[in-house]
Amino acid sequence: MLSQGQNEAEWLPQVLPQHVAIIMDGNGRWAKNRGKLRMSGHKAGAKAVRKTVRFAAKHHLKALTLYAFSSENWSRPAQEVTALMELFIWALESEVKSLHKNNVRLRVIGDTSGFNKKIQDRIAKAEILTANNSGLTLNIAANYGGRWDVVHGVKQLAEQVKKGVLQPEDITEDSLNSQLCLSDLPAVDLVIRTGGEYRISNFLIWQVAYAEFYFSPVLWPDFDEQEFQGALDAFSQRERRFGGVVSNES
């Protein structure tokens, strides 16, 4: 039985997530397994992105956030970084019209000032073109790090304190959250990581506080609609408590 005054609906599990975040891991290993260069894995991974976005839109998810390039990825070999930047530009140029046609809103989150002007211009044009779309919100995390996100948010609050518009004692979780990436979207419900690793790798460390996690051994280029459906099926079986208790324990 629920305690007196408690809303029964609060304890019903969510059937499908509103916001899915994916750590796309395994491009390099996928290429190595086939005796190919790492870049071929990234190109194959781009095709998997297309399938994933299509699936998310078809199932009416509100938001999909993809970890494309972390702030730590700059330490990779220069040739690979350059190739990734070229692939990023290609994707922005070739996919945006299709996204717009399908009512998808595209946003890039992260420290975009770290990119060259050409990429920054492409990002701005893509975001402006799709800004008023009302379907799936597709967030591409590029030059993004969870710690960077939190530090950046704290700096924004510090500026408000410096200007006298905010007092330190008035800083709350909500005020900090409002300065972070994705603050205007539903909280991340489900995090999927491919490639068989079991860590979040500095991805959305604030935003996934109450998310469910699904780890898949499948390398990212092989992630398809069936794998995505498996993650959603697993999510639908989870009992989300958010620190509370379930009805049969009350």
Q: Which residues are catalytic?
A: 25, 73
Round to whole Å and give the CA distance between 27 and 75.
17
Round to whole Å and give the CA distance between 142 and 10.
35
| Burial environment of residue 194 by CB neighbours within 10 A (0 to 12, 13 to 18, 19 or more) | buried
Decide: 48 and 25 in contact? Cβ < 8 Å. Answer: no
Round to whole Å and give the CA distance between 239 and 242.
9
Token digits of residue 162: 């410096």
Residue 12 CB: number of other CB atoms within 10 A?
Answer: 11
Decide: 109 and 127 in contact? Cβ < 8 Å. Answer: no
Token digits of residue 138: 């597709």
